[in-house]
Amino acid sequence: MQERAFALKRAGKTISCVPTMGFLHQGHLSLIRAARASADVLVVTIFVNPAQFGPSEDYRTYPRDPERDLRLCRQEQVDIVFAPEACDIYPDGYSTYIEETDLSRWLCGANRPGHFRGVATVVTKLFNIVQPDLAYFGQKDYQQSRVIMKMVKDLNLPVRIEVCPIVREDDGLAMSSRNKYLNPEERQEALCLYRALSRAEELVISGEYSAAKIREEMEAVIGQEVHSRIDYIEIRDGKTLEPRDQVGEGTLIALAVFIGKTRLIDNLVIGKVPG
């Protein structure tokens, strides 16, 4: 892949990249479509990255369907699919990691120790291998996108990061490969994340800016579902991820909720997503 990327670069081609863990859905396809138009060559990477899963998390059971993924990539006219094995990326004796130490501390970072270290490491490696001019990420994983933007800035990585909006099912559930884990009852209950965010948005529109009050109302919405357990509901600055008492332009409202055993995340930015 790296040799191919260098050859493309020598020929004056630009490269865009969409990193994924596969089991592609419309959220991934929206990134692929945005990336398609932006460069000469589009590379999609498919790699379930063991380094970003905790020991008790779902690395082994994470949904995989490589044939379907390849079919979808072909349909979307992806030029190259890079789908390495874990032993290609982390051969025996692998011992180098990248860690962003500020934005990674909060939210998902607090409850998934090592997660963003795994993400930052694999994304750096993928960038070095694929040599993209542009790389596309989803707002669905808001904190991930901020950590990557910060890492790119701090390490002077020569790649532009683009963040695309959250793609949802018709009823509002944010698309995610992990939605596959939900049984029909849980699938219904999973709507509480979107409902809680919609409630938060309504409150803000009606002039309620108190983070405490908004969080309380969101907790009440989530609490109505029998199999729900809140991991976090956070109201933070969309850029620094620092806590905010008052909601305003560029504030992030993010939540992680277990529905049964499945942990789902979703978020909303008030006004424009900060650059």
User: Which positions lie near ligand AMP, rule CB under 6 A?
Assistant: 20-21, 27-28, 30-31, 137-138, 140-141, 164, 166-167, 174-177
Query: Dihedral of CA 27/166/253/102: which sign?
Result: positive
**Annotation says 115 is catalytic:** no
Residue (100 or 141) nearer to ligand AMP, CB: 141
For 115, counting Cβ atoms within 10 Å of its Cβ (0-12 exposed, 13-18 middle, 19+ buried), the class is: buried
Residue (26 or 224) nearer to ligand AMP, CB: 26
C-alpha to C-alpha distance for 241 and 106, rounded to whole angstroms? 8
Catalytic residue selected from 25, 28, 115, 227: 28
Least CB distance from residue 164 to ligand AMP, whole Å? 6
Residue (114 or 209) nearer to ligand AMP, CB: 114
* DSSP bridge partners of 228: 259
- Position with the least CB separation from ligand AMP: 138
Residue (115 or 215) nearer to ligand AMP, CB: 115
Least CB distance from residue 201 to ligand AMP, whole Å? 18
Least CB distance from residue 147 to ligand AMP, whole Å? 12
* DSSP bridge partners of 229: 258
**Residue whose C-alpha is closest to residue 193's, from 175, 207, 205:** 175
Q: What positions carry a catalytic annotation?
A: 28
